[in-house]
Structure 1
Amino acid sequence: MWARSQYWEQVMATSSRGTIADRNGITLALSVPRWSMFVDPAFWDPSQLSVLGQHLPKQVVQKLQKPLEGRFMWLVRKLTLQKGEEILSLNLKGVYGIKEMERSYPFGKHMAHLMGFVDIDEKGLSGVERQWDFFLYNPPRMRNLIRDAAGNYFEAANLSSEEEMVFPKSEVVLTIDWRLQYIVDDALQNGASMNNAEWAAAVCMDPMTGEILAMSSFPSFDPGNRETFSGDALRNNTVGRVYEPGSVLKPVIMGIALENGYVNSKSRFNCSGSIKIADHVIREVNWRAHGNQDFNKIIINSCNVGMAQIGMMMPTTFTYNALKSWGFGVSTGVELPGEEEGLLPLPSQWWGVVPANIALGQGIAVTPLQLAQAFSAIANGGLLVRPYLTKNVFDRKGNEVYHGQRREIGRVLSNSTAERLRMTLRQAVAEGTGKRADVENAKVAGKTGTAQVAHRGKYLQDTHVATFAGFWPYDSPRYVLIVTVGNPGAKGYLAGAIAAPIFRTIVEEMMASGF
């Protein structure tokens, strides 16, 4: 009887993780206190189940209906403080509570793929939570519980809890602006839903620094509600999905050709509506003949025949190496887990019509973030800069252990070539296929891209990816924005009708909000 009245129990209880904040200091993820309930079988009275069962999940009730062994069994973890107090106020024999910490995400689904989520023991499993888990995670603390003769549990003094109060918690500060993130995410989720899309992605960057200001993926989930964790909803399409970009790659190919003398202001290309290369026929939409064109008109009209001719002019190894230098087929190194490298075939595979297809954005696979990096080079005067998401990381003692900063990868265009492309891309919006992305006074420049999806070596006729890649204002760009919509099931499939309006909505909302 003495041993029973002096019983000790050691329980592992989760601790606080470090916080995650946006560039303005707004908290995006934090730990909040919760009640976790357990039962001591030695004091449990089965007749209490009818009362307790009203507050517990069905599977827990089923466990309590069976004989219990040992001296400790979790009932339910991490209830809200109000719910935990309700159960404790019942004063049931053998039923006790212990305080734990649980991750909370104030912005819910609007930050889901960026934040990621944690497991029941607060270990980071995806997103920023996983990327910086080494600094954010605090191991569970051993809690020493003592039961008195009346059956009540008390927690013994614990030095680790005192230490946790002395030192500041670790913190990760992102380059994200929560206001811009909300605008981008809201527009993408609504636009993708309206178009009955299978998936979508959007990323907004500062082209001068490489800072990622917003990043959104559809479908989304609530990181605080595991019932929403299903299938593709957990994938961050911005970095974790590759697809053929289509015509949105044409400005990059044109930039390579201009920069290296394969095309100049005097070059002319004839488009009769189609062209045969090897054993393939490349044609225009509706077989439309664009006639005699310079490099400017090829981009404005999104001319396939003209781009195919340019693709065939350049040596395959040269074009391959140039695309590599633009960041294609190479991961950007952004501070997020699960980033894909994309697909850039080796030059030995560039036979027949392949060089022409790649000039049209076919036969190459990219991520939206790689496109944002490439368009940033056009926007900033020709420098490829690494996209980055993290401004600072501080450990538990407040020491800065990581500092994100602008990093140049290399120059891919001269300033003069980049300027020519910016002017052309402005015309592509004002006069060409990107008209529905234009916003008054914003001076948007950009390019549409509609690509078929390949499956087992053949292109599916009814499956497309629609992209609009752009920046503004074109003469001194401050923002680069990529919007990609995968397999839209309504309102057609052309990027000018699907992705461009979402882009415009984001720009309009940003301008109205002072960005």
Structure 2
Amino acid sequence: MVLRLGNPRRRLKFGMIVMTFILSIFAGRLIQMQGLDTKFYEGVAAGQRMITETIPAKRGSIADVNGNPLATSVEAREVAIDPSKVHPDVRVKVANALAAELGKPLQEITTKLSRTHTQYQLLAKDVDPAVATRLVKAGIPALTTKKQYRRVYLAGDLAGTLVGFVGTDGTGLGGLEESRNSVLAGKDGKLRVEQGRFGQRIPMTHSQRQPPVDGSDIRLTIDRDLQWAAQKSIAEQVKAVGAESGTVIVMDVKTAQIVAMANAPELDLDNWRNAPAADYVNRAAADVFEPGSTNKVITAAAALERGVVRPTTTFRVKDNIRCYDRTLRDAEPHPTETMTFQEAIAKSSNVATIMAARKVGSQGLHDMLKAFGFGAKPGGGVPGEEAGLLPDYKSWSGSQSCTIAYGQGVSVTALQTASVYQTIANGGVRIAPQMVAGTTGPDGRFVPAPPGKQTRVVSDRTAKEITAMLESAVSEEGTGGLAAIPGYRVAGKTGTANRYDPKLGRYQGYTASFVGFAPADAPQLVVLSVLQNPQKGHFGGQLAAPVFKQVMTFAIKSRKIPPTSSTASPVRLSAGQ
């Protein structure tokens, strides 16, 4: 057998062809990548190197009417570390240093440093910049700091529920912080930079920066000093009488600006997370209750406006009156007596008020209640404001047509009640309550808030006649004598109402209140005080009137309101006098 060998020249030629083919494929791919698809791969590489960082916007501040800050934002740092780059030999030393500077438990820091399978561990937020700088200078490996802002409440619980608070992400969660979040928050900026494999920024590379837009500052109508006085007075009285809660509102008569809005208990903004949820509520605007006798001015307004009674109209008043299937009574038993309508309001007679309301009719009374703002939100942008409850007069029961005349069977908020007396004090013109004086944008320009909407509710004559009645209520013959302020003419009204407890589903306890204004002949301020479910007494004239007197006296001195030279006209309280 003869073995025939292949032609080596042919094998070599075939091999060269195969090799050339393979190399041409590689060459073509290289030409495609480096020539035709250069832009594409450059973009992919840049995208892998490029990161986007958020530049936080500074949240706007909240200040009182004089610019005293109640809430503001200060610069802080977020501190993080890459545990995989902390050598085991120095881990204990690093943990001790971090725990000491950050004020964190050593075990917490040690646990985070032990997670070496991760490249990021957040150590702390809201760190003082000086502390963060010390840590960086200490040379702690793989430590990073990031700029942020920390919310600070400089006044603690002053107007706490009104101001509100922010969550860990800086978003408002209560009060003005929540309701005006879009104004306060601003808009975060962005920074796009290139970084290397280990997170270091590559110098001299392209970057894109979109600057942040800081939030606007809000200036309130609240006066810090009056707010403090109101909170102190209501808190002390709530404690003294064992009440469940209390509220004080101070309102400017001519502008309806809210000068103070105090609640007790009040929310401490430095420790809001530890407070019960009930303390997050702005009770002055959100709590709904039956007003009681403070509501009699609306019945009086309806009767006077329709001309069915005058202040001197007399009634023969027993201490009880039959109203369909119920017998309704005055607060105190008394023999049948002749009262002028003015005396009936001064002595807070339920029976005489019902007699006047019958002359008005249910529809007329309902229309006047609605005109004063009942059944609708006040509209001043107060956080948590509620509309209360005003049933349609067509659905009133027989007895309800009587009880609503003296403030039972209709529900309101403290803010709505204060607004009623602002209307009377302002000559019958209601102004929508206001609590924001204006805003200051990032450009530093202050923009005042537009004035509240004005609506005439009753005539100037009716308002003056009711004012005279309310002065009588603060006289020795009236129920509000404890609200009198020496040297000043004061007009006001007591309120004592059965309190509906939604938890029990029935009436339990009382609501005691007093609301009035001064000076009566040249009104400047309205003050309302409300106590819910007091345990030591329950009459508004005994419990709430002293709070009114304290707060109004402080406000008069603070605003340097002089006594008026005029004296109240002699008032005919009883028939035959």
Q: TM-score, normalised by structure 1?
A: 0.88
The answer to whether 1:76 aligns with 2:128 is no
The count of corresponding residues between Structure 1 and Structure 2 is: 504
Q: Residue 415 of structure 1 is aligned with which of 460, 463, 470?
A: 460
My pick for the range that moved more, 124-133 or 202-211, is: 124-133
Q: Residue 537 of structure 2 is aligned with which of 459, 467, 492?
A: 492
SS at match of 2:466: helix
> Whole-Å Cα distance in 2 between the matches of residues 9 and 24 of structure 1?
44
Q: Residue 71 of structure 2 is aligned with which of 24, 29, 54?
A: 29
Query: How many Å apart are 1:126 and its aligned residue?
Result: 2.4
SS at match of 1:375: helix
The answer to whether 1:504 aligns with 2:549 is yes
Q: In 2 relative to 1, CA 121–352 (structure 1 residues): closer, same or farther, beyond 3 Å?
A: same
Asked if the contact 2:53/2:191 (under 8 Å) is kept, the reply is yes
My pick for the range that moved more, 124-133 or 252-261, is: 124-133
Among the aligned pairs, what percent are the same residue? 29
Asked if the contact 2:302/2:360 (under 8 Å) is kept, the reply is no
C-alpha deviations, 1:422-477, integer Å up to 9, x for none?
1111121122211111111232210111111124797535x111111110000110
Q: In 2 relative to 1, CA 39–71 (structure 1 residues): closer, same or farther, beyond 3 Å?
A: same
- The aligned amino acid for 1:423 is A
The match for 2:81 is 39
The answer to whether 1:126 aligns with 2:174 is yes
The answer to whether 1:442 aligns with 2:484 is no
Q: Which runs of 5+ in 1 are unaligned?
A: none
Asked if the contact 1:266/1:294 (under 8 Å) is kept, the reply is yes
Query: How many Å apart are 1:194 and its aligned residue?
Result: 2.8
The match for 1:303 is 349
Q: Where in structure 2 are the equivalents of 1:151-166 lying within 5 Å?
A: 159-160=209-210
Asked if the contact 1:43/1:151 (under 8 Å) is kept, the reply is no
Query: How many Å apart are 1:506 and its aligned residue?
Result: 0.8
Q: In 2 relative to 1, CA 355–86 (structure 1 residues): closer, same or farther, beyond 3 Å?
A: farther
The match for 1:20 is 62
Asked if the contact 2:414/2:528 (under 8 Å) is kept, the reply is yes
The match for 1:325 is 371
Q: Where in structure 2 are the equivalents of 1:425-436 lying within 5 Å?
A: 425-431=470-476, 432-436=478-482
Asked if the contact 2:165/2:174 (under 8 Å) is kept, the reply is yes
Asked if the contact 1:121/1:140 (under 8 Å) is kept, the reply is no
SS at match of 2:70: strand
- The aligned amino acid for 1:22 is D
Q: Residue 225 of structure 1 is aligned with which of 243, 250, 271?
A: 271
Q: Residue 513 of structure 1 is aligned with which of 558, 564, 573?
A: 558
Query: How many Å apart are 1:300 and its aligned residue?
Result: 0.9
The answer to whether 1:105 aligns with 2:153 is yes
The answer to whether 1:272 aligns with 2:318 is yes
C-alpha deviations, 1:264-308, integer Å up to 9, x for none?
245222222111211111112242346111111111111111112
Q: Give 1 or 2 for the bigger CA radius of gyration.
A: 2
Structure number with higher relative contact order (C-alpha < 8 Å, ≥ 6 residues apart): 1
The match for 1:378 is 424
The match for 1:181 is 227
Query: How many Å apart are 1:203 and its aligned residue?
Result: 1.2
What is the root-mean-square deviation of aligned Cα atoms in Å?
Answer: 3.1
C-alpha deviations, 1:168-214, integer Å up to 9, x for none?
86222222222222222222222223333222211111111111111
SS at match of 2:270: coil
> Whole-Å Cα distance in 2 between the matches of residues 170 and 158 of structure 1?
25
The match for 1:190 is 236
Q: TM-score, normalised by structure 2?
A: 0.80
Query: How many Å apart are 1:27 and its aligned residue?
Result: 2.6
The match for 1:460 is 507
My pick for the range that moved more, 290-299 or 312-321, is: 312-321
SS at match of 2:295: helix
C-alpha deviations, 1:97-152, integer Å up to 9, x for none?
32211122222211212211122222222222223222221234446788899998
The match for 1:483 is 529
Q: In 2 relative to 1, CA 396–154 (structure 1 residues): closer, same or farther, beyond 3 Å?
A: farther
SS at match of 2:150: strand
> Whole-Å Cα distance in 2 between the matches of residues 231 and 176 of structure 1?
24
The match for 1:137 is 185
Q: In 2 relative to 1, CA 180–145 (structure 1 residues): closer, same or farther, beyond 3 Å?
A: farther
Asked if the contact 1:239/1:369 (under 8 Å) is kept, the reply is yes
C-alpha deviations, 1:336-378, integer Å up to 9, x for none?
3321000001112212111110011001000111111110111
Q: In 2 relative to 1, CA 220–290 (structure 1 residues): closer, same or farther, beyond 3 Å?
A: farther
Query: How many Å apart are 1:51 and its aligned residue?
Result: 4.9
Q: In 2 relative to 1, CA 486–13 (structure 1 residues): closer, same or farther, beyond 3 Å?
A: farther
Q: In 2 relative to 1, CA 324–378 (structure 1 residues): closer, same or farther, beyond 3 Å?
A: same
SS at match of 2:479: coil
Query: How many Å apart are 1:314 and its aligned residue?
Result: 2.4
Asked if the contact 2:527/2:551 (under 8 Å) is kept, the reply is no
Q: In 2 relative to 1, CA 401–266 (structure 1 residues): closer, same or farther, beyond 3 Å?
A: closer
Asked if the contact 1:34/1:101 (under 8 Å) is kept, the reply is yes
My pick for the range that moved more, 211-220 or 389-398, is: 389-398
Asked if the contact 1:311/1:358 (under 8 Å) is kept, the reply is no
SS at match of 1:134: helix
- The aligned amino acid for 1:121 is D
> Whole-Å Cα distance in 1 between the matches of residues 274 and 242 of structure 2?
19
Asked if the contact 2:253/2:524 (under 8 Å) is kept, the reply is yes
Q: In 2 relative to 1, CA 450–265 (structure 1 residues): closer, same or farther, beyond 3 Å?
A: closer
> Whole-Å Cα distance in 2 between the matches of residues 81 and 208 of structure 1?
47
